[in-house]
Amino acid sequence: MVAVRGAGPVGRPSFVPQGLLLSQRRDGWPLMLRIPEKKNRMSSRQWGPIYLRLLPGGVLQMYYEKGLEKPFKEFQLQPHFRLSAPKLEGYGEPRKIHTVKVEQVCFAERKRYHPKPEVTHEAETEQLLKLGTAEPGDMEDLVASVEEELMRLPHPVQPRRHYEEQEMTLSVVDHLWARLDKEGVLLERGALTRVYCLAFLNGAGDCFLALNDAQLCRSDPVYGSEEEEGEAPWMEVSDCRFHPCVNEAEFRRSRLVKFCPPDGCRVELMRYQTATLSPSELPFSVKAVVTVQGAYVELQAFINMAASSSSASSPASAETPLCENVLVQVPVPEDWVKVSRTVTLLRQKSLKARMNRNACLGSVSAAESQPVMQVSVGTVKYENVYGAIVWRIDRLPAKNMAVDHPHSFSCKLELGSDQEVPTLWYPFVTVEFEVAEAVVSGTKVKSLGTESDIQPQKHVGAKTHYHCQVEIEKKWIETESRRQPDCATQ
């Protein structure tokens, strides 16, 4: 973690995680369980409240409520289980909840002949549990806790299958957290790198992985030199954790990652932090403003692609990275939502999304015919589970638009009075997106293979998930009704 300038508000937990473990080590979580647990054509499914605990060894204990002595069910996690990506689902209009599935994943080798003969390894997934919650913090901590426990589970020794086509896939996933002030100045940032492996190998399956680890470079010159020009910069690994299939003692000795991956099972091979991060700027900047004028409030957010945005690990080029699954959350106090549902300005049952491609940056329109919310690209909608207006954009730069084309969001609300702006409100927007084939940690795979004479097909991919928090600038505009009493006093 790198603290660049300043600190967060007193009493608030840091937005940037500390250390390699993202879980908060809670006693448990109040959740909803989808019952019956498996789909049945003869019966309907519904949600039931439970209290869930996760014990060491990957045991999920389910209680009817918190505080009971005995669970009504125990569920053992297995190494070949995985969590689906969390998603939003309806839970009685107009509410929604976050849901996640515990799935069993097996791979089957299949031959395909169109358009040309090839052998593929396809996943076969079975849903075992489905959990939900209206609290995004509970969902994030549940996912982090289960993933950390899955990483600790040793894989049982069992005979390996024989594959017609051997294959090994390595995925390097960086997570970057950044906290910025209202002027876009970086206050704090931190990163975590997670390396995943999926292997279909014959024989013993002994593998090795060499990264651009500076200590490896110093101990074994065969992998390169720190002074060698044209080479990717070497990274200093400050802390790391490994899956049980990794020979940790060998890594401490030689800095080579030697491992025997489970057969046909995607595992988190290792996670680590680096002493320094790439100095590259974010792919785009976000500016957020809340303007209060009497009883009227306007929330705005502006996005501009960086002039020379490029990944530190990408080849030197002028190409702008493609940011996908962009999500911007603009917080709205609960009292504002209650009021906004009743004002005539809305003329709707709830806050709805509308597109206005002609929206201009900084423009203000008081015409009642204008929609309450406008965006220049993507979709926008108030989501109760976030307590925020959520602006979603499939990709940036947007299709059929210039790279430097700015994008904006605007929401106009009419409140009972300007006193309804919470005095202790510390607003900030949260921005999430991902960039493929980019790493902020500077990770580069130097060598990957098996001890066998016959090498499998090897695939190496990378991406970075960005998590940013940007302070919202507050503006108060004095109204005529307030100026007149001041003039009369004079």
Q: How far apart are CA 436 and CA 169, in angstroms?
A: 16
Report residue 301 as tokens.
Answer: 């957010």
Average pLDDT over residues 427-452: 93
State the pLDDT at residue 218: 84
Model confidence at 227, in pLDDT bands (50, 70, 90)? low
State the pLDDT at residue 204: 83
**162 or 220: which leads in pLDDT:** 162
Residue 404 has pLDDT above 90, yes or no: no
Among 23-32, 162-171, 329-338, the least confident range:
329-338
Q: How far apart are CA 190 and CA 232, in angstroms?
A: 21
Q: How far apart are CA 106 and CA 169, in angstroms?
A: 16
Q: Which of 268, 382, 247 is CA-nearest to residue 21?
A: 268
State the pLDDT at residue 306: 81
Average pLDDT over residues 371-400: 90
490 alpha-carbon distance from chain centroid = 56
Model confidence at 279, in pLDDT bands (50, 70, 90)? low
Question: Dihedral sign, CA of 389, 88, 269, 52?
Answer: positive
The dihedrals phi and psi of 204, each to the nearest 5 degrees, come to -65, -35
State the pLDDT at residue 10: 40
Helix ranges (H only) for 389-479 are none
Average pLDDT over residues 206-217: 93
157 alpha-carbon distance from chain centroid = 33
State the pLDDT at residue 371: 67
State the pLDDT at residue 7: 42
Residue 488 has pLDDT above 60, yes or no: no
- The answer to whether the beta carbons of residues 368 and 385 sit under 8 Å apart is no
State the pLDDT at residue 349: 35
Average pLDDT over residues 270-294: 88
State the pLDDT at residue 225: 66
Average pLDDT over residues 237-266: 95
Instruction: Write the CB contacts of 465 (distance below 8 Å, at least 6 apart in sequence).
Output: 173, 174, 175, 176, 432, 433, 434
Average pLDDT over residues 253-262: 95
State the pLDDT at residue 353: 43
Q: How far apart are CA 175 and CA 193, in angstroms?
A: 6
Instruction: Please tell me the pTM assigned to this model.
Output: 0.86
Q: Is 472 helix (H, G, I), strand (E, B) or coil?
A: coil
Q: How far apart are CA 428 and CA 12, in angstroms?
A: 13
Highest mean pLDDT among 304-313, 364-373, 473-482: 473-482
Q: How many CA atoms lie within 13 Å of 50's alpha carbon, on the beta-carbon side?
A: 22
Beta strands in 25-70 (DSSP E): 29-35, 46-55, 59-63
Q: How far apart are CA 358 and CA 141, in angstroms?
A: 40
State the pLDDT at residue 478: 76
What percentage of the chain has pLDDT greater than the value 90?
A: 59
Distances (CA, A) of 279 to 127, 240, 430, 452, 467: 42, 22, 21, 39, 16
Residue 6 has pLDDT above 50, yes or no: no
Residue 361 has pLDDT above 50, yes or no: no
Model confidence at 398, in pLDDT bands (50, 70, 90)? confident
pLDDT in tens, 80-120: 999 999 999 988 766 899 999 999 999 999 887 777 778 88
Average pLDDT along the chain: 84
Model confidence at 8, in pLDDT bands (50, 70, 90)? very low
State the pLDDT at residue 136: 93
Report residue 455 as tokens.
Answer: 């090498």
Domains of the chain: residue spans and CATH: 29-153 (2.30.29), 284-435 (2.60.40.1170)
Place of tokens 């899955």: 150
Average pLDDT over residues 12-26: 84
Q: How far apart are CA 302 and CA 306, in angstroms?
A: 13
State the pLDDT at residue 459: 96
Model confidence at 481, in pLDDT bands (50, 70, 90)? low
Question: Dihedral sign, CA of 414, 420, 426, 430?
Answer: negative
Residue 308 has pLDDT above 60, yes or no: no
Among 44-58, 179-193, 243-257, 408-422, the least confident range:
408-422
Distances (CA, A) of 255 to 220, 249, 276, 350: 9, 9, 18, 57
Q: Which helix (H) or strand (E) holds 149?
A: helix 136-152
- 67: phi > 0 → left, psi -120 to 50 → alpha, else beta; which? left
Q: Which amino acid is at 187?
A: L
Beta bridge partners of 297: 292, 413
Average pLDDT over residues 287-309: 86
**384 or 345: which leads in pLDDT:** 384
State the pLDDT at residue 3: 46
Residue 360 has pLDDT above 70, yes or no: no
Report residue 331 as tokens.
Answer: 């917080």
Q: What is the CA radius of gyration of the chain?
A: 26
Average pLDDT over residues 256-268: 96
Q: Which amino acid is at 97?
A: I
Q: How far apart are CA 15 and CA 24, in angstroms?
A: 13
Q: Which of 66, 54, 64, 147 is CA-nearest to residue 100?
A: 147
- The answer to whether the beta carbons of residues 356 and 371 sit under 8 Å apart is yes
